[in-house]
Amino acid sequence: MARCVQRLIGSMIRSVIWFRRDLRLADHEPLLEGCRHGTVLPLFILDPALLFHPETAVARVAFLLESLRVLDQDLRRRGGRLLVRRGDPVTELVAVVKAAAADRVIAHTDSERLVGRWRDAAVNRRLAMEAIPITWIEPAGASDALLGYPAWSRRWHRAMTEAPPAAPTRVAVPSPSECLPDLPIPTLQHLGLPPDRKPLPAAGTEAALLRLESFCTGPASRRYYWELSYPSARVSTGLSPYLKFGVISPRLCLHRLASLAGQERTRQRSAVQLISRLRWGAGMHQRFRYLPQLEQSSLWTPFDVDAVPLAEGAPADGLEAELYAAWRQGRTGFPIVDAAARCLAAEGGWLELNFRSRAIYASFLANLCGIDWRWGALHFMRHLIDGDCPIDHYQWAMQAIRDPSAAMARLPAAMPELFPAALDLDQLDPAHWRALLSWFQPGRRPVDAVPADGSAAAAPPTRRRSARRAGAPGQLSLDLALDLEEGTAGST
């Protein structure tokens, strides 16, 4: 080790940049801060506590690995590279800092999971013992202070109106060495995770920006603001996996959406709705900052009354176990529920399973089957490519109603898709989830009959808030941002 340190001192390595849920180069303050002070060493640590977490989705790990490969390529185009280590983050981080003779670590804060909170606390203690400084930088709009929602929202919007920093043109890193070898990004097989064959979205910031551009210039941005609540709507941006891992930041998204302010009214409304959802997701992460126990328990304690802790095993044998299995496998006999189940298992839900479909699927398990919502959240997270604990767990808790009679009274009106009077089950094969989802088309109530020609009306509803005080093209209006309505979880 001493030989490695001495060999690298001349390279003037200043900062180890610890990448976590921020796998991009643009709008990345830790990387820019490190580059201002000279040489950097970009680092990502594959944490076994997260790789083999009970809620790990193999497809989500596969997308993470692909995102790391593209990040490494982006760094190499600028003269850098990404060092990927596997093991205990405390041990690996200290070892890399010492091998690189770095004078500090810089990283974004992250509060997604309890194991991550424990990890960061352990890192702080160990680095303090080793006299290694670490600089934690809040993501744009986040805060370590306890803020009420209105104050936080104003803070977030102010941060979003600031121009996102561009990616550095040059990233100076040390040459590979015996201590810091240039190794390829590991595969699922190397990690001991068997592939589950879900198709993955293209990885990388460029792929995310292409999706955003396609949304802004294509027909989806004319319909997004009203079609998003329909299970069959094809207007999702597909950005949720990229946002989950920070491949693209909300601020980068907002500054592209700002150009829609001077366009037709429908695109303006869609921009407002999408900004609202981005803000809502950021708000869930901020809430987990204060209330990390939401990962395992509800904010509203009645939802957890008589709940069976997950540590005690799967739902008991008998009717509950059969209901849970049928719900997971898509054989409940309720077409929209079975469609959602098969969509989740086949494709990871990031594009086709929008927030309305997720809400229906979740409500069926918790409210009609009376099964602890945490079992549903576990199944979701084991399949979702865009699975984001603060958003998914909180929404699961919010969907649960502990009083079955209240659920039965509310659901027919709140979720008529569960009770489609005109749906001919003999005409729809439950194995074909896409056909089932497509039956619930925009512009038609689920209880309406399917037209003989198979067509469906596609007109927006008349009552929607308009995008007021829109700014000029290319300029984000703070007044517009503050006029947003509350969003809902799910794929954007």
Residue-wise pLDDT tens digits, 156-214: 999 999 999 999 999 999 889 998 999 999 999 999 999 989 999 999 999 999 999 99
Distance of CA 221 to the CA centre of its chain: 21
pTM of the predicted model, to two decimals? 0.86
* Angle, CA 360 vertex, CA 212 and CA 310 arms, to 5°: 100
> Which DSSP letter does residue 54 get?
T
Least confident of 202-211, 234-243, 390-399: 390-399
Question: Is a pLDDT exceeding 70 seen at residue 356?
Answer: yes
Q: Which residues are registered as beta bridge partners of 136?
A: 107
- Beta strands 39-46 and 134-137: pairing type? unpaired
The structure tokens listed for 452 are 């003989």
Topology adopted by domain 205-293+464-482: 1.25.40
Q: Tokens 């298992």 appear where?
A: 345
Closest CA to 40 of 70, 68, 82: 82
Per-residue confidence (pLDDT) for residue 485, from 0 to 100: 37
Please check the confidence at residue 359 and state whether its pLDDT lies above 70: yes
Q: How confident is the model at residue 478 (pLDDT cuts 50, 70, 90)?
A: very low
Q: Say what the pLDDT of residue 81 is.
A: 97
Q: Which residues pair with 44 in a beta bridge?
A: 19, 84
Distance CA 432, CA 339 (A): 7
**Phi and psi torsions of 265, nearest 5°:** -60, -40
SS3 label, residue 376: helix
Instruction: Give residue 350's pLDDT band: very low, low, confident or very high (50, 70, 90).
Output: very high
As a residue count, the chain comes to: 492
The pLDDT of residue 452 = 34
Six token digits for residue 132? 């290694």
> Could you tell me the pLDDT band of residue 395, with boundaries at 50, 70 and 90?
confident
Q: Please say if the pLDDT value at position 389 is more than 50.
A: yes
- Give the pLDDT score at 20: 97
pLDDT value of position 191: 96
What residue type is 56 in one-letter code? T
Least confident interval from 216-225, 371-380, 427-436? 427-436
Cα–Cα distances in Å, from 89 out to 105, 114, 122, 294, 425? 13, 15, 9, 24, 52
pLDDT tens digit sequence for 47-70: 999 999 999 999 999 999 999 999
Domain boundaries, the chain: 2-137, 205-293+464-482, 298-439
Residue type at 456 in one-letter notation: A
Q: Is 298-439 in the same CATH topology as 2-137?
A: no
Tell me, what's the pLDDT at 368? 83
Q: CA–CA separation, 342 vs 433, rounded Å?
A: 6
- pLDDT-derived band at 408, boundaries 50, 70, 90: low
Q: What is residue 397's predicted lDDT score, i.e. its pLDDT?
A: 80
pLDDT at position 137 is 97
Better-predicted residue by pLDDT, 476 or 13 = 13
2-137 fold:
Rossmann fold (3.40.50)
CA neighbours closer than 13 Å in the CB half-sphere of residue 31? 27
Query: ∠ CA 392-108-79 to the nearest 5 degrees?
Result: 120
Indicate whether 121 pLDDT > 80: yes
pLDDT score of 262 more than 80: yes
58-115 tens-digit pLDDT: 999 999 999 999 999 999 999 999 999 999 999 999 999 999 999 999 999 998 888 9
Determine the pLDDT at residue 484. 40
CATH class held by domain 298-439: mainly alpha
CA proximity to 13, closest of 132, 134, 100: 100
Which runs of E-coded beta strand occur in 314-442?
Answer: none
Q: What is the pLDDT of residue 269?
A: 93
